[in-house]
Amino acid sequence: MDTTRDGHKASRQEAVAMVQVTEKVLNVTDSGLTLIQELNLRSHSQDASETKLTRALYNKLTTEPQAVQEEIVNIHNTFRRNVFPPARNMLKMMWSPEAAENARILARYCDFAHSDPLERRLKNTFCGENLHLESYPISWSNVIEIWYNESRYFTYGEWTSSDDDTRTDRYTQVVWASSYLIGCGVASCRKERIPQYLYICHYCHEGNDPDTINEPYKKGPSCGDCPSHCDKKLCTNPCHYYDEYRNCKKQVKILGCNHPSIQLFCKATCLCKTEIK
């Protein structure tokens, strides 16, 4: 009997406590809102404030303004000038509106996976691609530096691991000698309601040929392959065509540049005799 009375007493106390909590939660505050409504409003206000700040930072990353384009191009050229060992055929990069538009379109899909090569093709060439995903809008300079810092795992002429922790393929694309056009885009995405920022850069001509990825450029004296076309250690004479066959040199020797398939798929070998390709 005592146990039953104690049980009833405990149940009554719990019920009273629940009523008190309910009254407190549903109590109308000075603002005319219930406590729950006011707490939700404060939470939304804080989220809105944070969103306003990140939105302002994100807007500074869009790549339509010339200042952003110059930032991206300049930091690439700075890194390319200072590779070690020095490069004798490193091309100076310039902005490509067409490559940038492709990068922007793909970024808006918010898919953190490399696109199909055909989605980043330009008129006379294919483009390589670097991706970066951030939870906060950082500067383009910081993103490109992250890619370049993979150089700590890279030794010129040696094959490196494809492990995510020691990958170097984004670095090798940044310093791929024949890549001379660049265009980038950024998108604000959400994954499970968590904000994410996807950065994409396209590099044309495409780099990271698996047969020569251990040597992304020719080492030697700066501008050794372009002494008459040199701007601060970078060559300024790119080939505007692209070989779509890897063995174009061999095929040209066999078939000659007048062969229809060679004219279509080996334009760089046949049309660029002194340009960097």
Instruction: Dump pLDDT digits (tens) for 49-65.
Output: 458 888 899 999 999 99
Q: Give pLDDT, residue 265.
A: 94
Q: Domain extents for the chain?
A: 2-56, 60-238, 240-277
Under-50 pLDDT residues of the chain:
1-31, 33, 35-49
Q: Give pLDDT, residue 34.
A: 54
> What is the CATH number that goes with domain 240-277?
1.10.10
3-state secondary structure the chain: CHHHHHHHHHHHHHHHHHHHHHHHHHCECCCCCEHHHHHHHHHHHHHHHHHHHHHHHHHCCCCCCHHHHHHHHHHHHHHHHCCCCCECCCECCEECHHHHHHHHHHHHCCCCCCCCHHHHCCCCCCEEEEEEEECCCCCHHHHHHHHHHHHHHCCCCCCCCCCHHHCCHHHHHHCCCCCCEEEEEEEEEEECCEEEEEEEEEEECCCCCCCCCCCCCCECCCCCCCCCCEECCEECCECCCCECCCCHHHHHHHHCCCCHHHHHHEHHHHHCCCCEC
Q: Give pLDDT, residue 50.
A: 52
> What is the CATH number that goes with domain 60-238?
3.40.33.10
Q: Give pLDDT, residue 55.
A: 86
Q: Give pLDDT, residue 21.
A: 38
Q: Give pLDDT, residue 234.
A: 99
Q: Give pLDDT, residue 13.
A: 46
